Amino acid sequence: MRDLVCSPNTLAGPIDHRVVNALSKRYPLDTDFLAYMAICHGGQPTIGTIKVNGCPYRVAEFLTLLDSKSKLTGDFRPHFDQIQTDERVVKSISSLMNCECNTSRALFSGLLPFAATQTDMCLDRGYIDLFCFDYRVRPTSPTVVIWDANKAMEAYFEWDSLPIEQQFGDDDQFLNVNWDSFLIPVASSFQEFVGMLEQNAE
């Protein structure tokens, strides 16, 4: 495995396998991803910059595999915006997927965020770009994409303005979502994604 050199004081502690099992019922988690999260869980990697179409994007921090019922290790870490909640829970995949918030709405379906491009931000408000697994075409072996927050919110508002019969199919599948306007293809797998990461600029 490649060492992404995550700062030790940024790590979130052990992953919660109960959370992994719950997420995997809908989105099977990449085994390479889980292996890396065993050592980089919630961390901020020093080797975390990737160039896509010549444009650099940074893995500022990995989201956590925790929730409000997880047993956290170490001292309590209050989130700057939700001071009664540990930031490791706030910055979790489960929190973003299960909240009634801008981000979860504009993720639509088939996308699972695993890293943020900025730190110390409110990830639920739909203004921070995210690295996501894309399960839409390959439900058991997702690709990696960048979710452009601003463009995703625009696409959501366009979709939300449509008549209900144009929003969902008979199987409740999302219709008429302009996916290409806000998803940037990055890699065919998490392992390929890790291999593309470069040292962060100072």
Helix intervals (H) in 108-182: 149-160
> In the prediction, which pLDDT does 43 show?
97
The pLDDT value given to residue 120: 82
Q: Tell me which amino acid residue 19 is.
A: V
Q: Please check whether residue 46 is in contact with residue 3, taking contact to mean a CB–CB distance below 8 angstroms.
A: no
| Average pLDDT of adjacent 10-residue blocks, the chain of 202 residues | 94 97 96 96 97 95 97 83 86 92 94 95 90 96 98 98 95 94 98 97 81
* pLDDT at 79 (0 to 100): 72
What pLDDT score does 82 carry?
75
What does the alpha-carbon distance between residue 6 and residue 174 come to, in Å, rounded to a whole number?
A: 37
What is the longest distance spanned by two Cα atoms in the chain? 51
pLDDT at 176: 97
CA distance 136 to 51: 23
Quote the pLDDT of residue 30. 92
CA neighbor of 18 nearest in space, from 77, 112, 94:
94
Helices assigned H by DSSP within the chain: 17-24, 31-40, 87-90, 93-98, 102-106, 149-160, 190-196
> Phi and psi of 139, rounded to 5°?
-65, -20
Residue-level pLDDT at 80: 75
Reduce the DSSP state of residue 137 to 3 states and report it. coil
What is the structure's pLDDT at 74?
A: 87
pLDDT at 70: 97
